[in-house]
Amino acid sequence: MAGGTKNKVSRRRPAARTAVGAAESRLTRADWLKAALDVLVSDGVENVKVLTLAERLGVSRSSFYWFFRSREHLLDLLLQHWRDGNTRVLVEQASAPSETVIEGVLNIFACWLNEDLFDPRLDFTVREWARRSGHVRRAVDQADDARVEAIKRMFIRHGYRDQDAFIRARVLYFMQIGYYSLDLEEPLATRLAYIADYLRAFTGREPTRRQVAVFARRYRRKA
């Protein structure tokens, strides 16, 4: 009986190794990055660890090093993903063509209402990470400067003086970052009901009913 049990165990081990090997062969760098991003947002940077990710993906720890030089390399790529996503998209939205300043600000508002454009949870997570890392703090400061500068340029294109454009850009941008930091929860209908008033406050101009209605209708459909 003892011999029979030993044979059964020895037959199972290669199958387990084969299953793990098959899983590892199917994984890509993108799979590791997605898993790391999920852990970063849900549990914080301190829990983005090689062993944790390997267990989450059902593979051996050593397979991590097929794609990354080190944990620090992975963290650098996560930070770059944040830059390429949130910062690049916000700058592009602020730089998009607009016939009026109202349309320019609505282009930016799209980031706040569409998480496919701007991921607020990731932004908040990176800001928390910056509290523990000087390197990440500098990256966040640079991102804030780039975002405000892009919004400022949008105001300047629509005839605002440099200092006026700068202050309006700061008010618009930091109000929204504060909104995320406070974790305020509002129904979409409530947020859309404030759109016209926000536009007046940020631009000093009167939006048309059509501009507000078209924007609100677009995001009600998405909801």
Task: For residues 105 and 79, give the distance between their C-alpha atoms in angstroms, rounded to a whole number.
Answer: 27
pLDDT per residue as tens digits for the range 113-127: 999 999 999 999 999
Confidence of residue 15 (pLDDT cuts 50, 70, 90): very low
DSSP state of 28: -
Q: How many other CB atoms are found less than 10 A from the CB of residue 134?
A: 8
Average pLDDT, integer, range 146-171: 98
- pLDDT, residue 18, reads 46
Report d(CA 126, CA 80) in Å as an integer. 11
Ramachandran category for residue 49: left, alpha or beta (phi over 0 → left; psi -120 to 50 → alpha):
beta
- pLDDT tens digit sequence for 27-78: 899 999 999 999 999 999 999 999 999 999 999 999 999 999 999 999 999 9
**pLDDT per residue as tens digits for the range 81-100:** 999 999 999 999 999 999 99
Position of tokens 């720890």? 61
pLDDT of residue 24: 62
Q: Give the closest residue to 74 by CA, choosing from 91, 42, 89, 52.
A: 52
Nearest to 180 by CA among 124, 118, 115, 137: 124
Residue 123 is predicted with a pLDDT of 96
- Listed by start position, the domains of the chain span 1-68, 69-223
Q: How far apart are CA 54 and CA 96, in angstroms?
A: 41
pLDDT value, residue 55:
95
More confident residue, 10 or 181: 181
pLDDT: is 48 or 11 the higher one?
48
Residue 21, pLDDT above cutoff 60:
no
Please count the other Cβ atoms lying within 10 Å of the Cβ belonging to residue 149: 14
Torsion angle of alpha carbons 184, 144, 146, 87, nearest 10°? -50
Burial class (CB in 10 A: 0-12, 13-18, 19+), 5: exposed
- Give me the pLDDT at residue 182, please: 85
- Residue given tokens 């044979």 in the structure block: 7
Q: CA-to-CA distance for 82 and 123, rounded, in angstroms?
A: 7
pLDDT of 8 > 50? The answer is no
